[in-house]
Structure 1
Amino acid sequence: MIRPATREEFPQLVDIWLRASRQAHPFIPEACWKARADDMALRRLPACEVQVLEAGRRVIGFSAMRGDHLEALFVDPEVQSFGHGSGLMAHAMEGHHCITLWVYCRNVRAVSFYRRLGFSIVDEREDPETGEQESLMAWSR
Protein backbone atom coordinates (compact mmCIF):
# COMPACT_ATOMS: atom_id res chain seq x y z
CA MET A 1 0.00 0.00 0.00
CA ILE A 2 1.29 3.47 -0.91
CA ARG A 3 0.12 6.32 1.29
CA PRO A 4 1.25 9.74 2.51
CA ALA A 5 3.98 9.65 5.15
CA THR A 6 3.54 11.09 8.60
CA ARG A 7 6.22 13.27 10.21
CA GLU A 8 6.55 10.64 12.94
CA GLU A 9 7.81 8.25 10.26
CA PHE A 10 10.61 10.55 9.07
CA PRO A 11 13.28 8.98 11.37
CA GLN A 12 12.43 5.55 9.91
CA LEU A 13 12.61 6.98 6.37
CA VAL A 14 16.00 8.55 7.10
CA ASP A 15 17.19 5.13 8.31
CA ILE A 16 16.06 3.51 5.02
CA TRP A 17 17.69 6.36 3.07
CA LEU A 18 20.97 6.02 4.98
CA ARG A 19 21.22 2.23 4.61
CA ALA A 20 20.22 2.28 0.94
CA SER A 21 22.56 5.19 0.17
CA ARG A 22 25.54 3.40 1.71
CA GLN A 23 24.79 0.32 -0.38
CA ALA A 24 24.13 2.16 -3.66
CA HIS A 25 27.03 4.63 -3.37
CA PRO A 26 30.14 2.86 -2.06
CA PHE A 27 32.19 5.54 -3.84
CA ILE A 28 31.00 8.17 -1.33
CA PRO A 29 32.43 8.04 2.22
CA GLU A 30 29.98 6.93 4.89
CA ALA A 31 30.73 10.07 6.88
CA CYS A 32 29.17 12.11 4.08
CA TRP A 33 25.88 10.24 4.41
CA LYS A 34 25.84 10.57 8.18
CA ALA A 35 26.51 14.31 7.87
CA ARG A 36 23.49 14.64 5.55
CA ALA A 37 21.05 12.71 7.78
CA ASP A 38 19.86 15.70 9.81
CA ASP A 39 19.37 17.73 6.62
CA MET A 40 17.26 14.92 5.19
CA ALA A 41 15.09 14.70 8.31
CA LEU A 42 14.76 18.40 9.09
CA ARG A 43 14.84 20.13 5.70
CA ARG A 44 14.49 17.88 2.67
CA LEU A 45 11.67 15.52 3.69
CA PRO A 46 9.49 18.24 5.27
CA ALA A 47 9.74 20.28 2.05
CA CYS A 48 8.41 17.39 -0.04
CA GLU A 49 5.30 15.38 -0.68
CA VAL A 50 6.42 12.07 0.80
CA GLN A 51 4.73 8.77 0.01
CA VAL A 52 5.57 5.54 1.83
CA LEU A 53 5.25 1.97 0.65
CA GLU A 54 3.96 -0.39 3.33
CA ALA A 55 4.10 -4.15 3.25
CA GLY A 56 2.61 -6.04 6.17
CA ARG A 57 2.33 -2.84 8.25
CA ARG A 58 6.03 -2.17 7.76
CA VAL A 59 7.34 0.82 5.81
CA ILE A 60 9.76 -0.59 3.25
CA GLY A 61 10.32 2.39 0.96
CA PHE A 62 9.42 5.95 0.11
CA SER A 63 9.42 8.62 -2.54
CA ALA A 64 9.77 12.35 -1.95
CA MET A 65 8.55 14.78 -4.61
CA ARG A 66 9.08 18.54 -4.56
CA GLY A 67 6.76 19.75 -7.28
CA ASP A 68 7.80 17.83 -10.40
CA HIS A 69 11.26 16.98 -9.02
CA LEU A 70 11.97 13.62 -7.37
CA GLU A 71 14.15 14.43 -4.38
CA ALA A 72 14.36 10.85 -3.12
CA LEU A 73 13.32 7.30 -3.98
CA PHE A 74 14.60 4.63 -1.63
CA VAL A 75 13.67 1.06 -0.78
CA ASP A 76 14.94 -0.83 2.26
CA PRO A 77 17.99 -2.82 1.07
CA GLU A 78 16.50 -5.97 2.63
CA VAL A 79 13.61 -5.92 0.12
CA GLN A 80 15.16 -4.45 -3.01
CA SER A 81 14.81 -6.14 -6.43
CA PHE A 82 11.16 -7.09 -5.95
CA GLY A 83 9.65 -4.22 -7.96
CA HIS A 84 8.99 -1.93 -4.99
CA GLY A 85 10.89 0.98 -6.53
CA SER A 86 8.98 0.56 -9.78
CA GLY A 87 5.71 0.64 -7.86
CA LEU A 88 6.66 3.84 -6.07
CA MET A 89 7.70 5.43 -9.37
CA ALA A 90 4.50 4.34 -11.13
CA HIS A 91 2.55 6.03 -8.34
CA ALA A 92 4.60 9.24 -8.71
CA MET A 93 4.28 9.17 -12.50
CA GLU A 94 0.48 8.84 -12.29
CA GLY A 95 0.27 12.23 -10.61
CA HIS A 96 2.71 14.14 -12.84
CA HIS A 97 3.11 15.00 -16.50
CA CYS A 98 6.86 15.34 -16.12
CA ILE A 99 9.46 14.43 -13.50
CA THR A 100 13.11 15.37 -13.10
CA LEU A 101 15.73 13.93 -10.76
CA TRP A 102 19.46 13.99 -10.09
CA VAL A 103 21.35 10.69 -9.89
CA TYR A 104 25.04 9.96 -9.40
CA CYS A 105 26.56 8.84 -12.70
CA ARG A 106 28.47 6.06 -10.95
CA ASN A 107 25.21 4.62 -9.60
CA VAL A 108 24.78 2.57 -12.77
CA ARG A 109 21.96 0.50 -11.29
CA ALA A 110 19.85 3.60 -10.60
CA VAL A 111 20.62 5.18 -13.99
CA SER A 112 19.53 1.94 -15.69
CA PHE A 113 16.39 1.77 -13.53
CA TYR A 114 15.29 5.27 -14.51
CA ARG A 115 16.13 4.66 -18.18
CA ARG A 116 13.86 1.58 -18.15
CA LEU A 117 11.08 3.84 -16.88
CA GLY A 118 11.55 6.24 -19.79
CA PHE A 119 13.86 8.85 -18.27
CA SER A 120 16.66 10.43 -20.32
CA ILE A 121 19.78 12.28 -19.28
CA VAL A 122 19.39 15.98 -20.06
CA ASP A 123 22.30 17.56 -18.15
CA GLU A 124 25.29 16.77 -15.94
CA ARG A 125 27.07 18.56 -13.12
CA GLU A 126 29.48 18.00 -10.28
CA ASP A 127 27.87 17.61 -6.85
CA PRO A 128 29.54 20.34 -4.78
CA GLU A 129 29.34 18.27 -1.58
CA THR A 130 30.95 15.08 -2.90
CA GLY A 131 32.74 16.07 -6.10
CA GLU A 132 30.89 13.25 -7.88
CA GLN A 133 29.34 13.67 -11.31
CA GLU A 134 25.54 13.70 -11.35
CA SER A 135 23.09 13.38 -14.22
CA LEU A 136 19.85 15.29 -14.42
CA MET A 137 17.27 12.88 -15.79
CA ALA A 138 13.84 13.81 -17.08
CA TRP A 139 10.64 11.99 -17.99
CA SER A 140 7.43 13.27 -19.53
CA ARG A 141 4.25 11.73 -20.87
Structure 2
Amino acid sequence: MRIEHVVKNDYPELIKVWEASVRATHDFLTEEDIALLKPLILEEYFDAVFLRCVKDQQGKILGFGGVAENKLEMLFVLPESRGRGVGSFLCKYAIENLNVSTVDVNEQNPQAIGFYKHIGFQIMGRSPVDGQGRPFPLLHMKLV
Protein backbone atom coordinates (compact mmCIF):
# COMPACT_ATOMS: atom_id res chain seq x y z
CA MET A 1 0.00 0.00 0.00
CA ARG A 2 1.11 3.51 -0.67
CA ILE A 3 -0.28 6.94 0.16
CA GLU A 4 -0.71 9.24 -2.82
CA HIS A 5 -1.91 12.76 -3.45
CA VAL A 6 -5.37 12.96 -4.95
CA VAL A 7 -5.89 14.94 -8.16
CA LYS A 8 -9.21 16.01 -9.70
CA ASN A 9 -8.94 13.17 -12.23
CA ASP A 10 -9.25 10.79 -9.25
CA TYR A 11 -12.62 12.25 -8.17
CA PRO A 12 -14.79 9.85 -10.25
CA GLU A 13 -13.05 6.88 -8.65
CA LEU A 14 -13.18 8.50 -5.20
CA ILE A 15 -16.93 9.01 -5.41
CA LYS A 16 -17.34 5.32 -6.26
CA VAL A 17 -15.27 4.40 -3.20
CA TRP A 18 -17.34 6.81 -1.10
CA GLU A 19 -20.66 5.36 -2.28
CA ALA A 20 -19.59 1.73 -1.87
CA SER A 21 -18.26 2.47 1.61
CA VAL A 22 -21.36 4.40 2.66
CA ARG A 23 -23.65 1.63 1.43
CA ALA A 24 -21.64 -0.91 3.45
CA THR A 25 -21.44 1.07 6.69
CA HIS A 26 -24.14 3.75 6.84
CA ASP A 27 -27.32 1.67 6.88
CA PHE A 28 -29.16 4.56 8.55
CA LEU A 29 -28.99 6.57 5.31
CA THR A 30 -31.79 6.26 2.78
CA GLU A 31 -31.38 6.20 -0.99
CA GLU A 32 -32.59 9.80 -0.97
CA ASP A 33 -29.90 10.76 1.57
CA ILE A 34 -27.19 9.19 -0.59
CA ALA A 35 -28.55 10.87 -3.71
CA LEU A 36 -28.49 14.25 -1.94
CA LEU A 37 -25.00 13.79 -0.51
CA LYS A 38 -23.27 12.40 -3.61
CA PRO A 39 -23.14 15.64 -5.66
CA LEU A 40 -22.16 17.64 -2.56
CA ILE A 41 -19.27 15.29 -1.88
CA LEU A 42 -18.13 15.33 -5.51
CA GLU A 43 -18.62 19.01 -6.30
CA GLU A 44 -17.91 20.71 -2.96
CA TYR A 45 -16.54 18.57 -0.15
CA PHE A 46 -13.63 16.98 -2.03
CA ASP A 47 -12.33 20.48 -2.84
CA ALA A 48 -12.73 21.62 0.77
CA VAL A 49 -10.27 19.10 2.23
CA PHE A 50 -6.69 17.97 1.76
CA LEU A 51 -7.12 14.52 0.15
CA ARG A 52 -4.86 11.49 0.25
CA CYS A 53 -5.59 7.98 -1.00
CA VAL A 54 -4.24 4.46 -0.80
CA LYS A 55 -3.72 2.65 -4.08
CA ASP A 56 -2.88 -0.96 -4.74
CA GLN A 57 -0.07 -2.09 -7.04
CA GLN A 58 -2.34 -1.74 -10.08
CA GLY A 59 -3.22 1.87 -9.19
CA LYS A 60 -6.75 1.14 -7.96
CA ILE A 61 -7.90 3.40 -5.10
CA LEU A 62 -8.69 1.26 -2.06
CA GLY A 63 -9.56 4.10 0.29
CA PHE A 64 -9.12 7.80 0.90
CA GLY A 65 -9.11 10.41 3.62
CA GLY A 66 -9.73 14.14 3.73
CA VAL A 67 -8.34 16.55 6.30
CA ALA A 68 -9.09 20.19 7.12
CA GLU A 69 -7.71 22.16 10.07
CA ASN A 70 -6.36 19.15 12.00
CA LYS A 71 -9.67 17.32 11.65
CA LEU A 72 -10.24 14.11 9.76
CA GLU A 73 -13.29 15.11 7.74
CA MET A 74 -13.66 11.93 5.73
CA LEU A 75 -12.28 8.40 5.67
CA PHE A 76 -13.76 5.85 3.31
CA VAL A 77 -12.53 2.41 2.29
CA LEU A 78 -13.83 0.01 -0.34
CA PRO A 79 -15.89 -2.72 1.37
CA GLU A 80 -13.64 -5.46 -0.03
CA SER A 81 -10.58 -3.68 1.40
CA ARG A 82 -11.96 -3.31 4.93
CA GLY A 83 -10.07 -5.23 7.58
CA ARG A 84 -6.84 -5.12 5.58
CA GLY A 85 -5.29 -2.10 7.27
CA VAL A 86 -6.23 0.51 4.65
CA GLY A 87 -8.24 2.68 7.04
CA SER A 88 -5.64 2.40 9.81
CA PHE A 89 -2.87 3.24 7.34
CA LEU A 90 -4.73 6.35 6.15
CA CYS A 91 -5.68 7.44 9.66
CA LYS A 92 -2.17 7.00 11.07
CA TYR A 93 -0.75 8.89 8.07
CA ALA A 94 -3.19 11.74 8.74
CA ILE A 95 -2.25 11.84 12.44
CA GLU A 96 1.51 11.70 11.84
CA ASN A 97 1.77 13.85 8.71
CA LEU A 98 -1.29 16.12 8.65
CA ASN A 99 -1.59 16.76 12.41
CA VAL A 100 -5.05 15.26 12.73
CA SER A 101 -6.30 15.28 16.31
CA THR A 102 -10.11 15.23 15.96
CA VAL A 103 -12.84 13.47 14.02
CA ASP A 104 -16.64 13.49 14.02
CA VAL A 105 -18.36 10.12 13.67
CA ASN A 106 -21.99 9.26 13.02
CA GLU A 107 -23.41 7.88 16.25
CA GLN A 108 -25.32 5.29 14.17
CA ASN A 109 -22.04 3.87 12.81
CA PRO A 110 -20.75 1.70 15.69
CA GLN A 111 -18.05 0.10 13.51
CA ALA A 112 -16.48 3.52 12.88
CA ILE A 113 -16.72 4.45 16.55
CA GLY A 114 -14.89 1.24 17.48
CA PHE A 115 -12.29 1.84 14.77
CA TYR A 116 -11.46 5.33 16.01
CA LYS A 117 -11.38 4.20 19.63
CA HIS A 118 -8.91 1.49 18.61
CA ILE A 119 -6.71 4.16 16.96
CA GLY A 120 -6.73 6.18 20.20
CA PHE A 121 -9.62 8.64 19.89
CA GLN A 122 -12.03 9.31 22.77
CA ILE A 123 -15.56 10.69 22.64
CA MET A 124 -15.49 14.28 23.87
CA GLY A 125 -18.97 15.45 22.94
CA ARG A 126 -22.10 14.90 20.90
CA SER A 127 -24.25 16.89 18.49
CA PRO A 128 -27.87 15.85 17.84
CA VAL A 129 -27.56 16.70 14.12
CA ASP A 130 -24.95 16.35 11.41
CA GLY A 131 -23.12 19.16 9.61
CA GLN A 132 -26.10 19.77 7.32
CA GLY A 133 -28.51 19.97 10.26
CA ARG A 134 -30.06 16.58 9.52
CA PRO A 135 -31.09 14.23 12.36
CA PHE A 136 -27.96 12.10 12.27
CA PRO A 137 -26.18 12.61 15.62
CA LEU A 138 -22.42 13.06 15.58
CA LEU A 139 -19.92 12.06 18.21
CA HIS A 140 -16.98 14.44 18.51
CA MET A 141 -13.79 12.47 19.11
CA LYS A 142 -10.31 13.62 20.05
CA LEU A 143 -6.99 11.83 19.93
CA VAL A 144 -5.66 11.21 23.44
The interval holding the TM-score normalised by the smaller chain is over 0.9
Deviation readout 1:1-27 (Å, 9 max, x if unpaired): 101101111121111111111211111
Q: Choose which of 92, 109, 113 in structure 2 pairs with 1:111.
A: 113
Deviation readout 1:42-95 (Å, 9 max, x if unpaired): 111111110010002111110000121111001111211111100001111112
Q: Report the number of matched residues.
A: 140
Backbone CA RMSD of aligned residues: 1.4
- What is the TM-score normalised by the length of structure 2? 0.91
SS in 1 for 2:18: helix
Does the 8 A contact of 1:98 with 1:138 survive in 2? no
Asked if 1:67 is matched to 2:69, the reply is: yes
Instruction: Provide the rounded CA distance (Å) in 1 between the counterparts of 2:86 and 2:10.
Output: 18
Instruction: Provide the rounded CA distance (Å) in 2 between the counterparts of 1:69 and 1:30.
Output: 27
Runs of 4+ deviating beyond 4 Å:
none
- What is the TM-score normalised by the length of structure 1? 0.93
Instruction: Provide the rounded CA distance (Å) in 2 between the counterparts of 1:104 and 1:12.
Output: 24
Q: Choose which of 117, 127, 137 in structure 1 pairs with 2:141.
A: 137
Asked if 1:87 is matched to 2:99, the reply is: no
Residue segments in structure 2 that go unaligned for 5+ positions in a row:
none
Instruction: Provide the rounded CA distance (Å) in 2 between the counterparts of 1:97 and 1:4.
Output: 16
More strand by share: 1
Instruction: Provide the rounded CA distance (Å) in 1 between the counterparts of 2:18 and 2:10.
Output: 12
Does the 8 A contact of 2:101 with 2:142 survive in 1? yes
